[in-house]
Amino acid sequence: MASEQPQKIAILSVYDKTGLLDLAKGLVKQNIRLLASGGTAKLIREAGFPVEDVSAITKAPEMLSGRVKTLHPAVHAGILARDLASDEKDLAEQKIDKVEYVVCNLYPFKDTVAKINVTMPEAVEEIDIGGVTLIRAAAKNHTRVTILSDPEDYHDFVQSLEKGGVTEKQRQQYALKAFTHTADYDTAIADFFRKKYAGEGDQQLALRYGANPHQKPASAYFSGAPLPFKVLCGAPGYINLLDALNAWPLVRELSLALHYPAAASFKHVSPAGAAIGVPLSDVEAKVYMVDDIEGLKESGLAQAYARARGADRMSSFGDMVALSHEVDVPTAKIISREVSDGVIAPGYKPEALEILSKKKGGKYLILQMDPLYIPPTQEVRTLYGVSLTQHRNDATISPTSTFNTIRVPKDSPPLPESALRDLTVATIALKYTQSNSVCYALNGQVIGLGAGQQSRIHCTRLAGDKTDNWWMRFHERTLGISWKKGARRADKSNAIDLLTSGIVPAAGPEREAWEQNFAEVPTPFTAEERRAWLDKLSEVAVSSDAFFPFTDNVFRVGRSGVKYLAAPTGSQNDQACMDVAAELGITFVEQHTRLFHH
């Protein structure tokens, strides 16, 4: 005669008792032995269902006001035991029975800490220990044990029992939900303690507000270690950090790839300018309004920032600065007189730090970045309550390996070093620019960038128009402007932009306001004068973060002195775009990595 199968065991310990009695009824109907703790056992017993206290198998009473109830080998060995001879032997020696079902949910920590003026002792008492251990143990051993952590699952579970048992697929889904439940619970606890202990270990940084002033509270935190940067002066905002933490890796990569100091001027999570410290000519120094900076020629970092800031002064107004090297005095002097929100760098010379600390009445944001910090390979972002995860964009852009596939012209010799340098600058800049994006570069700097446009041609036009404006600033008429005494740098930049863009108002209040900037009003450029000067621009490199879908993009870059074009392929019009490039005398380089950034 076959031996009788041992009675299956379910352990129940729930805070949320929704649906508990219907579940208990279904379990009893299947002749499952119920073991429960505390209030769970009390409710089931009062409803008339057979239930035993967990102490029936632990042989130990609940203690410490309920803090210790299920933390015992008799419970967890029964849950964690596998269908292995060695495990069966251990259970038999200790007279422990296997547990097939665990029903558990946790104390309402989130609800407790959401209350006004909750105290630390109140919060601590809502940190579940035994429940989390039950859930994790059962979920770990889900190949044999069923874990129910959500009352919504009780009905389908009971129906499955009545039909013959829980399937492997169900156990997998219940385990996934259980791990998610404990992970969310631990995150809530960690977040609470970060807020309480902000500043201790620099794991959490309170921000002024989020993207907008009404979005409060806001914070930045880093799990398990101090933040990779220090705040030396000022108070960061949410967008400041978005800019800083996009700009820093850009300049770090530029410097590593090209072996120059690098700088970036960031606005709204895209670079307004980026550059390496290629020596400035006297004319460039004048165009970028830094020709009076003492020590400029001896500082590669200062020249890099002069290029980054000077390329598009309108967009750089109120920027977040990123610098690859220790900030020296010439660089600090340039920053000190511009309208800027903050700077991030690996270090500061004492005198440079003193100069910057006086900016904005002592409120200028100064961040010191750990140059050795390497971010995790996996990125997580929460959007509308949904968590998205992806592998970090760790694609390497290198002048020696990224631009080797020359598609047009055929049998082309290797690119000159200047072209490789400028394509590298443009392409690394795109890696940290809101897509769609197209970037023009020359002399080791971004000279025109189109960011965040929905169509590729609008990116190309926007970047090309900025490139044209940049080049028009080198025209002798622009260089020879006679400014009215006391004209501010921002007003000069705006006045120059109207002049070089060819959009000076013909008459009216705006024309009068424009003319008030000058001691001698310059003559606006005619369309013919602009075209004649723009035709002198050459050797420009352009890079695109994805393929050019139509030939209009190639025609547009050709009007702004582009000689070298790098883009991924994959469009049906690849060959047509290459044919146009050949017709215009543009070298088309296939760049094999798409670089969307959002």
Which residue matches tokens 């005095």?
Answer: 329
Active site residue 268: yes
* Annotated catalytic residue, options 140, 177, 195, 458: 140
Torsion angle of C-alpha atoms 226, 227, 229, 231, degrees rounded to 10 = -90
Q: Could you give phi then psi for residue 12, rounded to 5 degrees?
A: -120, 130
Max CA distance (Å), the chain: 114
E strand or H helix that includes residue 540: strand 540-544
Active site residue 140: yes
Give the CA angle between residues 203, 378, 569 to the nearest 5°.
Answer: 140
| Nearest Cα to Cα of residue 540 among 501, 500, 584, 583 | 584
Q: Could you give phi then psi for residue 525, rounded to 5 degrees?
A: -75, 140
| Nearest Cα to Cα of residue 189 among 117, 106, 105 | 106
How is residue 68 annotated by DSSP?
Answer: B
How is residue 63 annotated by DSSP?
Answer: B
Separation between Cα atoms, residue 272 and residue 86, nearest integer Å: 66
CA distances from 546 to 274, 347, 410, 469, 531 (A): 20, 35, 22, 25, 29
Ramachandran class of 164: left when φ > 0, alpha when ψ lies in -120 to 50, beta otherwise: left
Structure tokens at 209: 């507000």
* Annotated catalytic residue, options 25, 177, 268, 286: 268
Torsion angle of C-alpha atoms 585, 586, 589, 593, degrees rounded to 10 = -150
CA distances from 252 to 201, 220, 331, 441, 446 (A): 25, 22, 17, 18, 16
Q: Which residues are catalytic?
A: 140, 268
